[in-house]
Homo-oligomer: A and B are copies of this chain.
Protein backbone atom coordinates (compact mmCIF):
# COMPACT_ATOMS: atom_id res chain seq x y z
CA UNK A 1 0.00 0.00 0.00
CA UNK A 2 1.61 3.19 -1.17
CA UNK A 3 -1.04 5.36 0.29
CA UNK A 4 0.48 8.33 2.04
CA UNK A 5 -0.85 9.26 5.42
CA UNK A 6 -4.01 11.18 6.00
CA UNK A 7 -5.38 11.28 2.51
CA UNK A 8 -8.97 12.41 2.42
CA UNK A 9 -10.05 9.50 0.27
CA UNK A 10 -13.63 10.61 0.49
CA UNK A 11 -15.36 13.91 0.14
CA UNK A 12 -15.57 14.67 3.80
CA UNK A 13 -17.78 17.62 4.60
CA UNK A 14 -16.09 20.51 6.35
CA UNK A 15 -16.77 18.74 9.59
CA UNK A 16 -13.99 18.35 12.10
CA UNK A 17 -14.90 14.70 12.53
CA UNK A 18 -13.12 11.56 11.51
CA UNK A 19 -15.05 9.37 9.11
CA UNK A 20 -15.17 6.47 11.53
CA UNK A 21 -17.75 3.78 11.72
CA UNK A 22 -20.80 4.82 13.70
CA UNK A 23 -19.71 4.15 17.23
CA UNK A 24 -22.98 2.65 18.40
CA UNK A 25 -22.90 0.15 15.54
CA UNK A 26 -19.40 -1.16 16.19
CA UNK A 27 -19.02 -4.87 16.82
CA UNK A 28 -17.56 -4.50 20.33
CA UNK A 29 -20.47 -2.29 21.35
CA UNK A 30 -23.02 -4.66 19.85
CA UNK A 31 -21.53 -7.58 21.75
CA UNK A 32 -21.28 -5.57 24.94
CA UNK A 33 -24.88 -4.38 24.85
CA UNK A 34 -26.18 -7.83 23.99
CA UNK A 35 -24.29 -9.44 26.81
CA UNK A 36 -25.37 -6.77 29.22
CA UNK A 37 -29.00 -7.29 28.20
CA UNK A 38 -28.63 -11.00 28.93
CA UNK A 39 -26.75 -10.70 32.19
CA UNK A 40 -29.22 -8.14 33.47
CA UNK A 41 -31.69 -11.02 33.60
CA UNK A 42 -29.43 -13.28 35.65
CA UNK A 43 -27.66 -10.97 38.07
CA UNK A 44 -30.51 -10.45 40.54
CA UNK A 45 -30.91 -14.20 41.10
CA UNK A 46 -27.19 -14.74 41.54
CA UNK A 47 -27.02 -11.84 43.92
CA UNK A 48 -29.80 -13.29 46.03
CA UNK A 49 -27.55 -16.30 46.53
CA UNK A 50 -24.49 -14.22 47.37
CA UNK A 51 -22.71 -14.95 44.11
CA UNK A 52 -21.15 -12.70 41.53
CA UNK A 53 -21.27 -13.53 37.87
CA UNK A 54 -17.65 -14.66 37.88
CA UNK A 55 -17.98 -16.81 40.98
CA UNK A 56 -20.95 -18.51 39.34
CA UNK A 57 -18.92 -19.12 36.17
CA UNK A 58 -16.25 -20.86 38.21
CA UNK A 59 -18.66 -23.05 40.14
CA UNK A 60 -20.45 -23.99 36.92
CA UNK A 61 -17.19 -24.89 35.23
CA UNK A 62 -16.11 -26.96 38.22
CA UNK A 63 -19.43 -28.80 38.36
CA UNK A 64 -18.80 -30.16 34.88
CA UNK A 65 -15.56 -31.92 35.77
CA UNK A 66 -14.09 -34.01 38.50
CA UNK A 67 -11.10 -31.76 39.06
CA UNK A 68 -9.24 -29.25 36.96
CA UNK A 69 -5.98 -27.35 37.01
CA UNK A 70 -6.04 -23.63 37.65
CA UNK A 71 -4.77 -22.63 34.23
CA UNK A 72 -7.32 -24.82 32.51
CA UNK A 73 -10.06 -23.42 34.73
CA UNK A 74 -9.07 -19.90 33.74
CA UNK A 75 -9.53 -20.79 30.08
CA UNK A 76 -12.78 -22.58 30.77
CA UNK A 77 -14.34 -19.74 32.76
CA UNK A 78 -12.78 -17.03 30.58
CA UNK A 79 -10.97 -15.35 33.45
CA UNK A 80 -7.46 -14.00 33.76
CA UNK A 81 -5.06 -15.59 36.22
CA UNK A 82 -5.03 -12.81 38.80
CA UNK A 83 -8.82 -12.60 38.92
CA UNK A 84 -9.06 -16.34 39.30
CA UNK A 85 -6.49 -16.40 42.10
CA UNK A 86 -8.50 -13.91 44.16
CA UNK A 87 -11.82 -15.61 43.54
CA UNK A 88 -10.47 -19.07 44.34
CA UNK A 89 -9.07 -17.79 47.61
CA UNK A 90 -12.50 -16.44 48.45
CA UNK A 91 -14.43 -19.51 47.35
CA UNK A 92 -12.06 -21.73 49.30
CA UNK A 93 -12.60 -19.65 52.44
CA UNK A 94 -16.34 -20.13 51.94
CA UNK A 95 -15.69 -23.86 51.53
CA UNK A 96 -17.40 -23.98 48.17
CA UNK A 97 -14.32 -25.46 46.52
CA UNK A 98 -11.30 -27.56 47.45
CA UNK A 99 -7.76 -27.31 46.22
CA UNK A 100 -4.63 -29.38 46.32
CA UNK A 101 -1.32 -29.49 44.55
CA UNK A 102 -0.71 -31.74 41.57
CA UNK A 103 1.39 -34.74 42.49
CA UNK A 104 3.48 -34.64 39.36
CA UNK A 105 4.09 -30.89 39.42
CA UNK A 106 3.88 -29.00 42.68
CA UNK A 107 3.51 -25.70 40.89
CA UNK A 108 0.15 -26.65 39.51
CA UNK A 109 -2.97 -26.28 41.58
CA UNK A 110 -5.88 -28.66 41.19
CA UNK A 111 -9.34 -27.43 42.05
CA UNK A 112 -12.64 -29.23 42.56
CA UNK A 113 -16.07 -28.26 43.75
CA UNK A 114 -17.16 -29.27 47.25
CA UNK A 115 -20.42 -30.87 48.34
CA UNK A 116 -21.45 -27.51 49.70
CA UNK A 117 -20.68 -25.98 46.33
CA UNK A 118 -22.77 -28.60 44.57
CA UNK A 119 -25.68 -27.89 46.86
CA UNK A 120 -25.44 -24.19 46.09
CA UNK A 121 -25.54 -24.95 42.37
CA UNK A 122 -28.61 -27.08 42.84
CA UNK A 123 -30.20 -24.16 44.62
CA UNK A 124 -29.46 -21.64 41.89
CA UNK A 125 -29.88 -23.84 38.82
CA UNK A 126 -33.70 -23.89 38.64
CA UNK A 127 -34.03 -20.12 38.53
CA UNK A 128 -31.17 -19.93 36.08
CA UNK A 129 -32.75 -22.44 33.74
CA UNK A 130 -36.09 -20.70 34.10
CA UNK A 131 -34.61 -17.41 32.98
CA UNK A 132 -32.74 -19.09 30.17
CA UNK A 133 -35.97 -20.64 28.95
CA UNK A 134 -37.70 -17.27 29.05
CA UNK A 135 -34.94 -15.77 26.91
CA UNK A 136 -35.05 -18.63 24.44
CA UNK A 137 -38.80 -18.35 24.13
CA UNK A 138 -38.73 -14.60 23.66
CA UNK A 139 -35.92 -14.60 21.11
CA UNK A 140 -36.71 -17.91 19.47
CA UNK A 141 -34.91 -21.14 20.19
CA UNK A 142 -33.91 -21.66 16.59
CA UNK A 143 -32.62 -18.13 16.23
CA UNK A 144 -30.74 -18.47 19.49
CA UNK A 145 -28.98 -21.60 18.31
CA UNK A 146 -28.02 -19.85 15.10
CA UNK A 147 -26.67 -16.89 17.03
CA UNK A 148 -24.53 -19.21 19.13
CA UNK A 149 -23.13 -20.78 15.99
CA UNK A 150 -22.26 -17.41 14.53
CA UNK A 151 -20.57 -16.35 17.76
CA UNK A 152 -18.55 -19.55 17.86
CA UNK A 153 -17.61 -19.01 14.26
CA UNK A 154 -16.47 -15.47 14.99
CA UNK A 155 -14.40 -16.70 17.88
CA UNK A 156 -12.62 -19.34 15.83
CA UNK A 157 -12.14 -16.89 12.97
CA UNK A 158 -10.26 -14.52 15.21
CA UNK A 159 -8.33 -17.23 17.03
CA UNK A 160 -5.67 -17.18 14.34
CA UNK A 161 -5.93 -13.53 13.36
CA UNK A 162 -2.84 -11.59 14.26
CA UNK A 163 -2.78 -8.06 12.98
CA UNK A 164 0.95 -7.66 12.76
CA UNK A 165 0.89 -4.72 10.39
CA UNK A 166 0.89 -1.45 12.22
CA UNK A 167 -1.50 0.82 10.42
CA UNK A 168 -0.32 4.05 8.77
CA UNK A 169 1.27 6.60 11.07
CA UNK A 170 1.13 4.32 14.05
CA UNK A 171 4.49 3.53 15.59
CA UNK A 172 5.09 6.87 17.26
CA UNK A 173 7.24 5.81 20.13
Contacts and interface: CB of A to CB of B under 8 A. Distances in A.
A51 to B, nearest CB: 14
B66 A30 contact: no
Nearest to A154: B34
Contacts of A22: 64
A76 interface: yes
Interface stretch (A13-21, A88-96, A99-107): A13-21
Interface residues of A, number: 85
Contact of A37 (B61, B64, B154): B154
Please state the number of chain copies in the assembly.
2
Interface in A119-135: 121-123, 125-132, 134-135
Interface in A22-39: 22-39
A126 B45 contact: no
Contact of A34 (B63, B131, B155, B165): B155
A102 to B, nearest CB: 15
18 contacts: A4-B66, A14-B122, A17-B64, A18-B121, A18-B125, A27-B144, A32-B78, A37-B154, A37-B159, A41-B161, A48-B173, A123-B172, A126-B170, A130-B168, A135-B158, A139-B154, A147-B154, A150-B150
